[in-house]
Structure 1
Amino acid sequence: MKSKITIIIIMLIATINAFSQSLEGVWHGITKKPDNKEILFVFLFEEHQNSITSKMAIPTFDVMDIKPKTTIFKNGKLTIDGSNIGIKYEGVWNENTSQIEGTYTEGSVELVLNLVKGNPKMAENKRPQEPTKPYPYYEEEVKFKNTDADITLSGTFTRPIQKGKYPVVILISGSGRHDRDGSAESHRPFLVISDYLTRNGIAVLRYDDRGFRKSSGDFSKATTADFAKDVVSAVSYLKSRNDINVKHIGLIGHSEGGIIAPLVANQSSNISFIVTLAATAIPGSEVAVMQSKILRPFPVPNENDFEKNVRIAIEIASSNLDIAKKRTALIKHNKSYLTPILKSLGASDDNISKFIDNETETVLKPWNKYFFNYNPANEFEKLKIPMLSLNGSMDKQVDATINQNAIRKALIKGGNKKYKIIELENLNHLFQECKTGNIDEYKELEQTIAPIALNEVYKWINEVTSNNKK
């Protein structure tokens, strides 16, 4: 995705004029997190007759096209209200330093962020697996409707150049907003997967998540079940095409996409196989507990007490209490156990309050309640179609052994004998060959997805579809 951001910045090159002339143009700034890691922000300001609009990109996190609610510049003070996306920026023009000096706020996090006019110097990430155009296959920009949700999803369909009816897969992204390329940590794994499979005779449909990029809808209000309905709509769209084999429509889901896939397959008689990449198969509440311990960015004095309190918070959030009662109960509980921990780390009362408020609102989102109460094993157990499960042994986000054992147990219980489960050595959550498996390592690796993972997926799909490709 960084290459896309670079292109946008190049297209919007703004010469550094005296600030008194105009705010319009590209501004950028680099801030540092508490761990001293840098984050690059890029803003594009456009002046209209009576207003200013802005777009924001965060290349460090492969985020772009963020459109804050309002932007105001008055008497040397810049205020960007991004309450629609949970962010805020306030800064003041300093004539001596020729920059806007201010603070970026996201949830409970406040970072000093000074902006200077002009384009940032973009480090070039080497991504040798990403294909370059022209591609040796057919590519088409497509749109399809989820009529129940009244949204339109935009994506890309690819197939071999020769006319025919091809087996096809739909790529399903993991948690969080993703574009059709699955962009994450400056990698585009869905682009790489799509390219690999299409070159090997398998058609692919990938699309922007609802409410992101070119797809309409409200991502923030959607649950795993809603995302499954989007996939069902994608299946209906594929059935309308004359260049795919309707007997061989499959799903490939990564992370959360791996628990969406069986949900879709059990709702549609048109799915003939599924592939899960780093899927979970234990209750979402248990996944949340494990990740809160493994991925937590701060130490705690007592792990057992921390886990106990996390479980209480999840129990409240996943209950059927009305939202107001949940919010009250969660704030009270979160204050009781988080305040002493954060105070011991030197956090101010104001920052503690903001952190707790942010944690509370995050966990109250519809997605979380559904996820906490969802047990993918129930859906895996119902599957009667062929399934391939791949997990990486170095995955720090989804434990391969625990979850693959749960997948295997569910499939056996359901009587499904058409499955293959493989734990791939030394691969992380993104299926990169790695040293630590830590999230911070993803971006540093040149490899987007290990060849062994790509090959296992292709070999298995080729095997289950080989009887009827024409």
Structure 2
Amino acid sequence: MTPLLLAVSLLGPVLPIESAEDKPTIVGHWLGVLEVGPTKLTLVMHVGPGEGGSLEGSLDTPEQRAFGVPLETIALEGRSVRFEDPANNARFEGELAGDGETISGTFTQRGIVIPLTLSRAEAADLPRPMEIPGRLQGIWEGPIELPMGQTLRVALRVEPIAGWPGQRSAFFDSLDQGALGIPVSAISLEGERVRFEIKAIAGTFEGTLNEAGTTIEGTWSQSILKLPLTLEKVEKLTERARPQEPKPPFPYRVEELTFENPEAGITLAGTLTLPEGDGPFPAAVMVSGSGPQDRDETLLGHKPFLVIADHLTRAGIAVLRFDDRGVGESTGEFATATSEDFASDALAAVRTLRNRPEIDREAVGIIGHSEGGLVGPMVAARAPEEVGFLVLLAGTGVTGKEILLHQTELIVRASGLSESLIRVQVDSLRTLLSLIEEGRVDELSEDELHALMRDLTAGLEPEDREALENSNPPLAEATNLAVERLQAPWFQFFLEYDPKSALKRVRCPVLALFGEKDVQVDPAQNAKQIEDALASGGNDRVVVEVLPGLNHLFQHAETGSPLEYGAIEETFAPEALGRISSWIREATGRD
């Protein structure tokens, strides 16, 4: 069921809501990653009860081989969390999310302030010292060979720990997916046979170490897939080039700013880029796709919004891009927000630009990608006198339920699974959605729900059915996780919302662009729906185009599969950039 869960996660991870009657607690284990430029550092916090109702805890920074560093102060006041490590001149301040599963805030050390989100973790999934044979110490990197001929670079890192003789730590990196520092749960070397397990992603590897100790040839197993993987010992990890990422000095002004969303009572933080000169300039607010996104829409080493903003500002168009609520330097809570909340944030950004003297207040528009392409029309319909234009990049024209079912089919097919397994994935998702829509999912016991899912596999070939039932995570666990995610607030809104209701009320000029190979928002499913909805409302200032060879991120792609995103060096196709800038200049009377 991993492809089903993959399709769900691509639309945005949403967490369960904590009951208002539950008393907040931070007792347990917490895992996060500090990012300082290109450097990523895993941080683990352990919290337990102290004397007299107090809390006590310790920190691990596994990459620095530091475990059990005591915290002098750790406190929870309401939902505000604070801890201090005076010995290292470090402190953290953050807010516990409503579901009690994440703490978002800032980590400060020696005057440097770094955004940090800590997530609850099971003790077994944490990086920890292990007795690992010295022959495995080092960096092992190689490509997982995927069914459709794609590859996915991964690495195993086994590192010594100072002060822990004979002990080592081990991490797994999915390099092309940007998932780094995943703790290895278990690792062994028996003779020449190597085996390691990563519980956090339900993956295992088994292989043979060659006589020279330089190569491990074997098989990667995850879900129902068993894929060839050869790991070679290397001095350092290879890096993918990102040639389009702009570097200073820039031929325009860059301003870091904050602005308020009074409707939500939160402060949003972003970056405004202004062309040289006095203006007033046309301007665009950038609205990101689903999931917690920073102002650059950073994904798999790519920064699409940074690349777009740089191109547009050089073309005489000001751009405001900002961190999602609860992400980076923006306040608020992401986990409980829906697209309506993000529309409120986007409108606050539009109003911020309209009040700037350098900006032409009648030429402020929105550029929305993926979910942002759903949010943009919501804002334009709500405030038609304030939104001057819309650029929809892979925007949706049908309900979220239709998107999710179709997306699941396309993504699973692009992963190379058989047609019978594709049918089971889609039928399983359709069944779960129907049960949730009808309010019946809570009436079924877990055993009844799992039996219903097993019945859907009855028509499979015996080997496919066995593989699915023995997948990792198991079918039952995957079903529980899917139900939990689909019942969360963001998903409930997304599944039911029909974007045509807002599109019919949009009066400003609209440019809707799609990638021909997009398997997340298929142009065949959405382009005409958007065009027809806008036309039915009387809007004749509309351009809808499908750009050949491009994927959901507007990269030139082979198959369009999300597994390709990180491996592609291009961040955003030049022809798409050119089309956006020329259209905005024309729509705002600059050309």
Q: Is the pair's TM-score, using the shorter chain for normalization, greater than 0.5?
A: yes
Deviates more, 1:193-202 or 1:392-401: 392-401
Counterpart of 2:435 (choices 307, 316, 340) is 316
Residues in 2 aligned to 1:132 and 1:5: alpha-carbon distance in whole angstroms: 17
| Equivalent residue number for residue 103 of structure 1 | 185
Residues in 2 aligned to 1:9 and 1:303: alpha-carbon distance in whole angstroms: 37
Deviation track 1:154-187 (CA, whole Å, cap 9, x = no partner) reads: 1101111222211100001011111100111210
Alignment check: 8 A CA contact 1:189 1:449 kept: yes
Counterpart of 1:49 (choices 58, 72, 78) is 72
C-alpha change, 1:162 and 1:4, in structure 2 (3 Å) is: farther
2:506 paired with 1:383: yes
C-alpha change, 1:434 and 1:300, in structure 2 (3 Å) is: closer
| Equivalent residue number for residue 409 of structure 2 | 293
- Aligned pairs for 1:78-97 (under 5 A) are 82-83=119-120, 88-89=125-126, 91-94=128-131, 97=166
| Equivalent residue number for residue 528 of structure 2 | 405
Identity of aligned residues (%): 32
Q: Compute the displacement of 1:108 (Å).
A: 7.7
Residues in 2 aligned to 1:140 and 1:343: alpha-carbon distance in whole angstroms: 57
Residue 390 of structure 1 aligns to a residue whose secondary structure is strand
Larger proportion of strand: 2
C-alpha change, 1:45 and 1:279, in structure 2 (3 Å) is: farther
Residue 221 of structure 1 aligns to a residue whose secondary structure is coil
Residues in 1 aligned to 2:257 and 2:484: alpha-carbon distance in whole angstroms: 35
Residues in 1 aligned to 2:540 and 2:380: alpha-carbon distance in whole angstroms: 16
Alignment check: 8 A CA contact 1:6 1:122 kept: no
Letter in 2 for 1:403: N
| Equivalent residue number for residue 341 of structure 2 | 226
Deviates more, 1:448-457 or 1:378-387: 378-387
| Equivalent residue number for residue 387 of structure 2 | 271
Residue 83 of structure 1 aligns to a residue whose secondary structure is strand
- Aligned pairs for 1:59-74 (under 5 A) are none
C-alpha change, 1:305 and 1:111, in structure 2 (3 Å) is: closer
Q: Compute the displacement of 1:48 (Å).
A: 2.7
Q: Compute the displacement of 1:236 (Å).
A: 1.9
| Equivalent residue number for residue 440 of structure 1 | 563
C-alpha change, 1:194 and 1:421, in structure 2 (3 Å) is: same
- Answer with 1 or 2: which has the greater Rg: 2
| Equivalent residue number for residue 75 of structure 1 | none
Residue 458 of structure 1 aligns to a residue whose secondary structure is helix
Q: Compute the displacement of 1:406 (Å).
A: 0.7
Q: Compute the displacement of 1:326 (Å).
A: 4.6
Residues in 1 aligned to 2:67 and 2:245: alpha-carbon distance in whole angstroms: 27
Deviation track 1:68-117 (CA, whole Å, cap 9, x = no partner) reads: 99xxxxxxxxxxx933899952645435652146529999843579xxxx
- Aligned pairs for 1:57-206 (under 5 A) are 82-83=119-120, 88-89=125-126, 91-94=128-131, 97-100=166-169, 103=185, 109-111=201-203, 121-206=236-321
Q: Compute the displacement of 1:351 (Å).
A: 3.6
Alignment check: 8 A CA contact 2:555 2:571 kept: yes
Residues in 2 aligned to 1:234 and 1:166: alpha-carbon distance in whole angstroms: 16
Deviates more, 1:377-386 or 1:251-260: 377-386
2:517 paired with 1:394: yes
Residues in 2 aligned to 1:229 and 1:440: alpha-carbon distance in whole angstroms: 32
Residues in 2 aligned to 1:83 and 1:3: alpha-carbon distance in whole angstroms: 16
| Equivalent residue number for residue 586 of structure 2 | 463
Letter in 2 for 1:271: V
C-alpha change, 1:352 and 1:227, in structure 2 (3 Å) is: same
2:450 paired with 1:414: no
Alignment check: 8 A CA contact 1:257 1:279 kept: yes
- Aligned pairs for 1:226-245 (under 5 A) are 226-245=341-360
Residue 272 of structure 2 aligns to a residue whose secondary structure is strand
Stretches of structure 2 that go unaligned for 5 or more consecutive residues are: 1-32, 44-57, 75-83, 92-101, 106-117, 132-163, 171-183, 187-196, 206-234, 458-464
Residue 177 of structure 1 aligns to a residue whose secondary structure is coil
Deviates more, 1:352-361 or 1:164-173: 352-361
Residue 258 of structure 2 aligns to a residue whose secondary structure is strand
Supply the RMSD in Å over aligned alpha carbons: 3.8
Residues in 1 aligned to 2:249 and 2:437: alpha-carbon distance in whole angstroms: 49
C-alpha change, 1:367 and 1:459, in structure 2 (3 Å) is: same
Alignment check: 8 A CA contact 1:103 1:112 kept: no
Counterpart of 1:367 (choices 490, 508, 512) is 490
2:396 paired with 1:280: yes
Residues in 2 aligned to 1:360 and 1:170: alpha-carbon distance in whole angstroms: 34
Deviates more, 1:199-208 or 1:155-164: 155-164
Residues in 2 aligned to 1:97 and 1:433: alpha-carbon distance in whole angstroms: 48
| Equivalent residue number for residue 548 of structure 2 | 425
Q: Compute the displacement of 1:443 (Å).
A: 1.1
Letter in 1 for 2:436: A
Residues in 2 aligned to 1:264 and 1:438: alpha-carbon distance in whole angstroms: 30
Q: Compute the displacement of 1:337 (Å).
A: 3.9
Alignment check: 8 A CA contact 2:516 2:551 kept: yes
Letter in 1 for 2:63: W
Residue 559 of structure 2 aligns to a residue whose secondary structure is coil
Q: Compute the displacement of 1:393 (Å).
A: 0.6
Letter in 2 for 1:214: E
C-alpha change, 1:86 and 1:204, in structure 2 (3 Å) is: farther
The TM-score, its normalising length taken from structure 2, stands at: 0.63
Alignment check: 8 A CA contact 2:432 2:483 kept: no
Residues in 1 aligned to 2:67 and 2:247: alpha-carbon distance in whole angstroms: 27
Stretches of structure 1 that go unaligned for 5 or more consecutive residues are: 13-21, 30-42, 56-65, 70-80, 114-119
Residues in 1 aligned to 2:425 and 2:167: alpha-carbon distance in whole angstroms: 47
Letter in 2 for 1:375: D
Alignment check: 8 A CA contact 2:282 2:363 kept: yes
C-alpha change, 1:166 and 1:315, in structure 2 (3 Å) is: same
Letter in 2 for 1:99: R
| Equivalent residue number for residue 27 of structure 1 | 63
Q: Compute the displacement of 1:213 (Å).
A: 1.1
Alignment check: 8 A CA contact 1:318 1:369 kept: no
Q: Compute the displacement of 1:245 (Å).
A: 0.7
Q: Compute the displacement of 1:332 (Å).
A: 6.1
Residues in 1 aligned to 2:248 and 2:355: alpha-carbon distance in whole angstroms: 27
Counterpart of 2:369 (choices 251, 254, 257) is 254
Deviates more, 1:237-246 or 1:187-196: 237-246
